[in-house]
Amino acid sequence: MAHVLFFILLTFAGLNCANYNNKNVVSIAPFDRDSILTLGASLIRIPIKPEAIKRVPGKVTVRIKEVVNPNLSPVSVKLYFMTEEKNWDIALFTLYPPDQPGTFVFRTNLVIEKMLKELKNDKNDEVFFCLQLQNEKNLTDTSLLIKLSEPVFGNIR
C-alpha cells in the first residue's frame, strides 16, 4: 500500500512540474544561476534576445535566495528595462525585514507595450532587463550581499 501511495505522489508531482515548465514560462536570455548584488556590484544587466522582446509575458518573478545584511540597513532593488538611451521602470521594492529573502512578482505587460511603441522605429536597440541595488542614504555596509535566482517571466493568471 505504501508503494502505491508513493507512486501516486510521484506521478502527481511530475505532472505539476510538467505543467509549470511549459508555455507559462519564457526564458529571455542566459543567466548566471547565482547572480549577486553588492555595493561594489550594484547592477545586473540581462540581455534580452531581440526576437524575445515581443514574447515576454505579463509578469516577472524575482526570487531573492539569500541576504547578508548584518547591520539591517534598508535595502531597495529597482527593476527596469534599458537601452543605450532610455530606461523603462518596472518596480522598486524594499526588503522587509532587510535581512530576509523573499519572492516578488511584478506586472511587466504595460511597460513592455510602452517600450515596444517607443522602439518601433529603431529595431537595432539592444534591450536589457536590469536589477539594480538602490543606494539608500545609510547604506554603507560593505558586507551587504543579495543572491538572486534567475528572474522568471510568466503569464498573468
List, for residues 14-37, the tens digit of each pLDDT value: 333 333 333 333 444 555 556 899
CB 57 within 8 A of CB 153: yes
List, for residues 79-121, the tens digit of each pLDDT value: 999 988 899 999 999 999 999 999 999 999 899 889 888 886 5
pLDDT at 15: 30
Rounded distance, CA 126 to CA 44, Å?
A: 15
Rounded distance, CA 137 to CA 51, Å?
A: 39
Rounded distance, CA 130 to CA 66, Å?
A: 19
Domains of the chain: 2-154 (2.60.120)
List, for residues 58-71, the tens digit of each pLDDT value: 899 999 999 999 98
